[in-house]
Amino acid sequence: MRIAVCPGSFDPVTNGHIDIFERASTMFDLIIVAVFHNPNKKPLFSMEERAELLSISTRHITNIRIDAFSGLLNEYVKQQNSNIIVRGLRALSDFEYEFQRALLIKKIDPVIETVFMMTSSEYSFLSSSGIKELAKFGGPIKGLVPSCVETRIRQRMAEM
């Protein structure tokens, strides 16, 4: 069984993320979308909320599992009986960052491979931070995130 791990903070999940999951699901037997805590970011949603929103947003993908973790990615990948990491890329700047991360993981764990998938052009401008900024100022996010995520973001912004 070919298992791939798609790690990320997914705060919030965007339609660009969903596009990568859908396309990766045709290449692997199981896709594990793994929400992780990024200490360099201030999250809008807790890890549990992000996992819940991912579960709702990916119900149509039959070979996907949502999980959450903290710690080293290479160790998590091995715990999942995988050696494949899938990363989505939007721009050259993403590649530079992700390439360095992939090389570091390869150095400490040579059996792990990173597969880069280019985002569909219709989502190349999307980022979670951009969505949060738009929402913070009341901008339109419809069509950029799954509808359940849009609703939850609007609720969270009203609470703030």
Q: At 10, which CATH number?
A: 3.40.50.620
Task: Give CA torsion, residues 81, 72, 123, 46, to 10 deg.
Answer: 110
Using alpha carbons only, give the angle 107, 4, 146 rounded to the nearest 5 degrees: 120
Domain span at 11: 3-159
Q: Which residues are catalytic?
A: 17, 41, 90, 128
Q: Report the pLDDT averaged over residues 57-80.
A: 96
Tell me: the pLDDT tens digits for 86-130? 999 988 778 888 999 999 999 999 999 999 999 999 998 899 999
Give the total number of structural domains in the chain.
1
Q: Any binding-site annotation on 73?
A: yes
Tell me the average pLDDT of the chain.
Answer: 94
> Is the pTM higher than 0.85?
yes
Secondary structure element (H or E) that encloses residue 158, with its range: helix 147-159
Query: Is residue 136 marked as binding?
Result: no
pLDDT (tens digit per residue) in 55-66: 999 999 999 999
Would you state the pLDDT for residue 7?
A: 97
The neighbour count for residue 111, using CB atoms within 10 Å, is 10
Cα–Cα dist 145/23, whole Å? 17
Say if residue 88 carries a ligand binding annotation.
yes
